[in-house]
Structure 1
Amino acid sequence: MSVPAATDAAAPPSRRLWWILGWCVLALFTGIAAYALPWADVIAALAGAKWHWAVLAVFVSLAGWPFWILQWQLLAPKAHRPSFARMAQVTALSGAANTSLPMTGVVASVGFLIVRGRLPASAAASLYTVDQLVTGIGKVATLSLAALLVPVPDWIRSGLLALAGVMALVTVALLVAAHGGNRLRRLGIGLSPRPARLLGHVADFVDHLEPLRNPVLGSAVVLLTFAKTAAEVLMVMTVQVAVGIEPSVAAAVLVVAALDLATMAPVSPGHLGVFEATVILCYQYLGVPLPLATAAALIHHGVLFVASLVSLGYLGWALPQDDKGQRRLDEP
């Protein structure tokens, strides 16, 4: 009993620091919101919202889910590619983890790909790496579109330039690395067992970067990223209608682009506070009254939370069915 306790005490100081920082940020936002926001007007805006449009926004948000499932299917190495239903389970679990505990999202997503997707560790890591690459490309495209449609704030323009530079370097590095699996294995010949084994794992990771060696497959994955972004923009516009803001593609793209930047770092649990502040700032920048901007931010985040609950409901049905089917296959 004492060994696990010692392990738990020694392992997570950095994680604890993230949690402390996250809750401090959330507490700070809550304190500012308690004094700065006109809550009577915000409550009136929420009471006057067209809630059937908010419900529709949940379905629009869920409409982007199949694009994500198909994208991760295509990113998985062909030899280990899970079925659509199994990848739906993986993405639902990953989405729930990213919505509620984004600080552990990377580890959780790779773990779900291994445990539920039944991918080798190297394949799961390569899938998630390429996913982050195409996600970054999608963010650069969204930020660029926002800069074309509206005069964006300086912090978004600076973020766009920095992110574009980083993504260009990462893309070139991964494209070069994707063709180096055999070279890595040759380097391992003659080395001692441990370095040779390590190089073998890295070579396996590189071999699984299939979309970076197949232009058609890579283009399909990027197009699916754009499709997911389009669903997000449409969902934001639906929320605008719900709270009484005139629907605007430009405003919706700006909100999605700003959230892409603001939520890149897992600062608070579920991005609470940071998410709402970003949406409010965007709408205030566009001249939307503060009560309506706040109502839009709260409903927007609520829509994403409800959509994650729907995906968890799917898991509640799918996981037992999948386990029953596996037990039948295992029976002699």
Structure 2
Amino acid sequence: MPIITSKYKPSIIFRNGYISTIYPNILRKVKGVSQKRERVELDDGDFIDLDWSYALIQNSKKIAVIVHGLEGNGQRQYMLGLTKYLNDNEWDSVSINLRNCSGEINRLYKSYNAGVSEDLDQIIHHILTKYTYTDISICGFSLGGNIVLKYLGEDRSLPIEIKSAVAISAPCDLYDSLSEINKPKNYIYQQRFIRHLKKKLYERQIDFPDILSKSDIKNCTSIQDIDNLYTSRAHGYKDAIDYYSKCSSKQFLKNIQKPTLILNAKNDSFLGNLCYPFEEAKNNSNVFLEIPNHGGHVGFYLPNKIYYNEKRTLEFFEKPS
């Protein structure tokens, strides 16, 4: 499918990628979203918490499944912004809080990573078993976008109810994305991620002292150190590089059979060149690649409280193209 020409043209100040990235996280406040939590028991004895929000019309048959990014949750402003806009346009929505991201430590040693498509699969089947939705569309932000793309392109039979998907600011090549995050321009972001990830590891160490030591956690000075120590081993990979290689969604894009939009801004400081899958989009009629010049990482600010990525997601859900 040819690359889509983007219509996103923000005001001058929001053409700066750093401002686009920072502003929604610090100053955006989405109001008017009501969430109802449901705990789903997983096959391996763990749990995932879902945050449901409903359209004003009753008994909507359309549901949007939304997956957050690294160290996110269902209450992040980008999650609430999309939820509100979808609810206002007759879509129910459910935000998945990945394991260990809902405010309560999960039961097992493993938690979540950029490739936990099996958890997304269980949630989709839970929704289809318990509820009566006929149209399911999926949206993933950042790490969640990688999960969604991997899920769609893996060797599995997808439910016919899944109609479309959108991945926003998706690190399609995980190592390439990490290499960008490690650059001096992203030092503040990198340190923030490390601080949050280590905090959760210290919490996990209390429950699993024989597997994880405080000194090992303390010695982690990078995201890759954390992925070598915990993320890879806890989820069955040899090391961080093995995890990045096997979980990067780029390799799965050629197999996607549902209409899927990838919205990655050109000035996203977290994405390297390999995270823009031009060839994969050109060779698969189901993959639509839109690369606005601006937007930063999960930015896409517009002045009317509805961001461009939210408008674009609904537009694609309603008419995939």
Higher share of residues assigned strand: 2
The alignment's TM-score, normalised by the length of structure 2, stands at 0.26
User: Which structure's CA Rg is the greater one?
Assistant: 1
Work out which structure has the larger RCO, using CA pairs closer than 8 Å and 6 or more positions apart in sequence.
1
